[in-house]
Structure 1
């Protein structure tokens, strides 16, 4: 994980921050070209990277392998073709090298779509990647390109660049009748969010339960490129995150006049899941009777398990954490904080958002934290440097009980120092093997409760 130790500082929230350190210790995101994993998250899509030697491998190893030990998928990891641009390409340009790589990839890789992503070298020397890719597009090759040099942003903004490249360069015009009961789901960042596969599966299950057809777009439940081609036919776009994918949904609104529903908080547990489903159902004008019947069935199952949990909770309450901190991306941070406060009665001690969200979205994120519950308001901090994050957590008031920290592998030594418990919930998660685990919805919340209190009990043993 030492590959992630230093990285040029991204845009800061205030002038005071801009004047501070010019590096980040133990960074919590990757370069924009890390969005190669977003492309690989679409079934039978293969990224092609035009970048320096080692860049693609580092992105895969950090975002996917050392983060829950996720698989490379059909077209990710060691499958990804790369130009491995060298000094020669810096001096003479790498456009021809890219052209040769694409030709070779077409011969040996069976894919429904190729996505060319650029690194710092071609973006700095000015390679005309668009011209190279357009030549292949004119030949009918399913291929698009996105400019993802590291100085352009991190893998969150790179993800949007990839999504928008597919929409603008690959999708056909559409002026037909849309299916009001089909929704395009835009939510978690694939691979970077350690539990993205299980979470998308649970969100899709919930939406289908109230009567919608879901284009989930990424992951094993996606139909792949055919599902992306059907994007314009959907009745609306659902953005389920504080800010990620909003610009993509706005592009679709502009391009296809497609309605947009933005719900900032991922639902965890019965209370949030029911509210989420009712809001979506009202927007989609679904029959209320069917929606309420589905919610009732889910809640009956959920509270049956919760009833069994209450015996443990009432017996051991004296030894359980009362306060918590979360250090992670805004989507999981907000969702976890809301669940822990409203459904477990825990007290937030420190909330730190780590993915460097664009400045224009930060006030909206702050507002969501300030209305966690009717009588609970939380002030969130935006920090990227792990030294500063750990200092902030050390300085928080956790009362007389050991704290519980929801964070990453970077927090493990800090938590030992504080004699607390840690639940790894974000990038990088290197002490968890994750296959299909989910922490959202009704079923994910039960898994989360098991994980939290198994951690606490085993720590106190």
Structure 2
């Protein structure tokens, strides 16, 4: 088996922790060896994460060692769960079983059921790190939440005609996840649609309870499809997929019109809102037109990131700013052969070079060979001396609170950053030549 140089993804347990700790009121209990939770905390903090509701040494953990690995850790988990409920007042407790627990066969399901019988709202997810990566951890947590919540908490199945669910934006792994979720809420609030984003400001366990009432689920990446499918199969909540979400006036407008039609929103109200956003966007374009022609924005560029980022930036930079996508490197492909085949959406981008790799060394070699004029990637690529904007994990900017790269506001943010990158690089090159 080939190794991966400087991987940009954590294990399944790390992804699960990264996800759970951004749900207000949910307390994770890690059933694994000491260090698993703290390692995830330091990795997330270095790569671009912000402080979650619980982090680092605060996270309850069974911290099993040799004795439990040999003889089983069920009794230690039982003890830890009881102690956690005494110290942390949570609305829900989620037990995350790590590698050692699964290898020795601890019956985590029975242990959580035992505590649930005592009236404690507790569920579990078998999140052994060897099962996959950060994205798998996210996918597993939301699947566990939607599957097990109805078994312990009363949820309503009556349909709310003005409520949608948004899935597929991974807390921490998507650098602008907070701003993106807020932008989605802002957009739909303008046409009287409420949104369950499940993570971040204003979202809590109540939103997870309401998920079963939604009129529609929108998966903005393939990592939201499994849970969306479950909501449809078990609770008759239909779903649609919007690969890469949406960035810019054209894509965002088309998306809003589609959702508005599915939810029978007043057409006049929708079009009035879209006209206002279109005018705001066109005004911004006019403000940069002088720079656009003076500094020749029509550059050849490369993108390194998950498929959603590549689709989002690739479409916007090509169709709106007239750039040419030279190289696209997908970093979140699953481990099966089928997932190494480009999707139709990726093919439509028309990249001259389309690759799949998680290996930082291999990615660097590809970029140095294809020689793009601009690069949209992670902090790992900053050493390549290519003018770059960091858009994917890990980041060199640890604090990202409200910036977004989705929708109308996201387009303005990206245009600002791209413009400043091109202008600064051109001026720096001019100084160097002098």
TM-score bracket, normalised by the shorter chain, equals: over 0.9
How far residue 412 of structure 1 moved from its aligned partner, in angstroms, is: 1.0
How far residue 321 of structure 1 moved from its aligned partner, in angstroms, is: 6.5
Distance 1:200 1:174 in 2: 24
How far residue 455 of structure 1 moved from its aligned partner, in angstroms, is: 2.8
How far residue 193 of structure 1 moved from its aligned partner, in angstroms, is: 0.9
Distance 1:130 1:405 in 2: 46
For residue 247 of structure 2, what is the aligned residue in structure 1? Answer: 268
Q: Deviations over 1:180-233 (max 9, x none)?
A: 2211111311111111000111011112222211111111131x1111111111
Query: Matches of residues 276-315 of structure 1 in structure 2 within 5 Å?
Result: 276-315=255-294
Distance 1:378 1:286 in 2: 41
For residue 47 of structure 1, what is the aligned residue in structure 2? Answer: 28
For residue 325 of structure 1, what is the aligned residue in structure 2? Answer: 302
How far residue 431 of structure 1 moved from its aligned partner, in angstroms, is: 3.7
For residue 232 of structure 1, what is the aligned residue in structure 2? Answer: 212
Label 1:179 to 1:425 Cα distance change in 2 as closer, same or farther (>3 A): same
For residue 341 of structure 1, what is the aligned residue in structure 2? Answer: 318
For residue 155 of structure 1, what is the aligned residue in structure 2? Answer: 134
SS of aligned partner of 1:170:
helix
**Is residue 37–residue 190 contact of structure 1 (8 Å, CA) maintained in 2?**
yes
Distance 2:36 2:11 in 1: 9
SS of aligned partner of 2:47:
coil
User: Is the counterpart of residue 59 in structure 1 residue 40 in structure 2?
Assistant: yes
Distance 1:25 1:426 in 2: 17
Query: Matches of residues 176-187 of structure 1 in structure 2 within 5 Å?
Result: 176-187=157-168
How far residue 344 of structure 1 moved from its aligned partner, in angstroms, is: 0.7
For residue 431 of structure 2, what is the aligned residue in structure 1? Answer: none
* Matched length: 424
Query: Matches of residues 27-46 of structure 1 in structure 2 within 5 Å?
Result: 27-34=7-14, 35-46=16-27
For residue 422 of structure 1, what is the aligned residue in structure 2? Answer: 388
How far residue 131 of structure 1 moved from its aligned partner, in angstroms, is: 0.9
SS of aligned partner of 1:237:
strand
Distance 1:187 1:277 in 2: 18
Q: Deviations over 1:29-63 (max 9, x none)?
A: 11001111111111121211111221111112212
Label 1:175 to 1:112 Cα distance change in 2 as closer, same or farther (>3 A): closer
Query: Matches of residues 112-261 of structure 1 in structure 2 within 5 Å?
Result: 112-171=91-150, 176-222=157-203, 224-241=204-221, 243-261=222-240
**Unaligned segments of structure 1, at least 5 residues:** 1-20
Q: Deviations over 1:371-408 (max 9, x none)?
A: 23xxx46663211111111111122153xxxx211111
**Is residue 295–residue 423 contact of structure 2 (8 Å, CA) maintained in 1?**
no
For residue 13 of structure 1, what is the aligned residue in structure 2? Answer: none
**Is residue 410–residue 428 contact of structure 1 (8 Å, CA) maintained in 2?**
yes
**Is residue 321–residue 404 contact of structure 1 (8 Å, CA) maintained in 2?**
no
Point out the more displaced range, 357-366 or 109-118: 357-366
Point out the more displaced range, 45-54 or 361-370: 361-370
Label 1:225 to 1:56 Cα distance change in 2 as closer, same or farther (>3 A): same
Distance 2:68 2:171 in 1: 31
TM-score (norm 1): 0.88
Distance 1:365 1:114 in 2: 39
Q: Deviations over 1:283-304 (max 9, x none)?
A: 2222222111111111111221
For residue 369 of structure 1, what is the aligned residue in structure 2? Answer: 346
* Alignment partner of 1:441 out of 386, 407, 424: 407
* Alignment partner of 1:409 out of 357, 379, 387: 379
**Is residue 168–residue 225 contact of structure 2 (8 Å, CA) maintained in 1?**
no
Q: Deviations over 1:153-173 (max 9, x none)?
A: 112111111111111111257
RMSD (CA atoms): 1.9
Q: Deviations over 1:322-344 (max 9, x none)?
A: 11111111111111111111111
SS of aligned partner of 1:380:
strand
**Unaligned segments of structure 2, at least 5 residues:** 429-434
* Alignment partner of 1:352 out of 329, 332, 335: 329
